[in-house]
Amino acid sequence: MVIFVLPCLALNYFGQGALLISDPATISNPFFLLGPQWLQVPMIIISTIATVIASQACISGGFSLCRQLIQLGYVPRMRIMHTNPTEESQIYLPGLNHSLMVGALLLVIAFRSSEALASAYGIAVTGTFLCTCILAAVVYRDRYKWSPWATIAVFGGFFIIDGIFFASNTLKIIEGGWVPVLLAAVLILMMFTWKKGRSLVLARQQHDAMSVAAFMARLPHSRSIIRVPGTGVFMTANPEFIPTSLLHNLKHNKVLHEHVILLTVKNLDLPQVMTDQRAEVAEVAPNIYRVTLRYGFMEMPNLPPALAQLQFESTGFDVSQASYFVSRELLVRSRPSHISRWRMALFLLMTKNATPITDFLRIPLDRVVELGVRIGI
The 10s digit of each residue's pLDDT in 21-68 is: 998 888 888 888 888 888 889 989 988 998 888 888 888 888 988 988
Nearest of 232, 239, 245 to residue 265 by alpha carbon: 239
Backbone angles phi, psi at 39, to 5 degrees: -95, 5
Which amino acid, one-letter code, is at 210?
A: M
- For residues 131 and 170, give the distance between their C-alpha atoms in angstroms, rounded to a whole number: 15
Cβ 371 vs Cβ 325: under 8 Å: yes
Burial class (CB in 10 A: 0-12, 13-18, 19+), 93: buried
Whole-number Cα distances in Å, 43 to 31, 34, 38, 55, 334: 9, 10, 10, 18, 62
3-state helix, strand, coil in the chain (%, to 5): 60, 15, 25
Predicted confidence at residue 204, as pLDDT, reads 83
Residue 165 confidence (pLDDT): 92
pLDDT for residue 264? 92
How confident is the model at residue 316, as a pLDDT?
A: 65
CB–CB of 377/206 below 8 Å? no
Query: How many C-beta atoms lie closer than 10 Å to residue 342's C-beta?
Result: 9
**φ/ψ (deg, to 5) at 346:** -65, -40
Question: Helix 40-72 crosses helix 94-111 at what angle (to 10 degrees)?
Answer: 130
What is the per-residue burial (b if ≥16 Cβ within 10 Å, else e) of 292-328?
bbbbbbebbbebbebbeebebeeeebebeebebbbbe
- pLDDT of the chain, 377 residues: tens digit per residue: 668 888 888 898 899 999 999 988 888 888 888 888 888 899 899 889 988 888 888 888 889 889 889 888 899 988 888 777 667 678 889 989 999 999 889 988 888 887 778 888 889 999 999 999 999 999 999 989 899 999 999 999 999 999 999 999 888 888 888 999 999 999 999 999 999 999 988 888 877 778 888 888 887 777 778 888 888 999 888 888 888 888 888 888 888 888 899 999 988 877 788 888 888 888 888 888 899 999 887 788 888 888 888 877 666 677 778 889 988 888 888 777 788 889 999 999 999 888 888 888 888 888 888 888 888 88
The phi and psi torsions of 312 (rounded to 5 degrees) equal -110, 140
DSSP letter for 315, please.
S
Q: Output the CA angle 207-212-214, nearest 5 degrees.
A: 85
**The pLDDT value given to residue 84:** 75
What's the pLDDT score for residue 75?
92
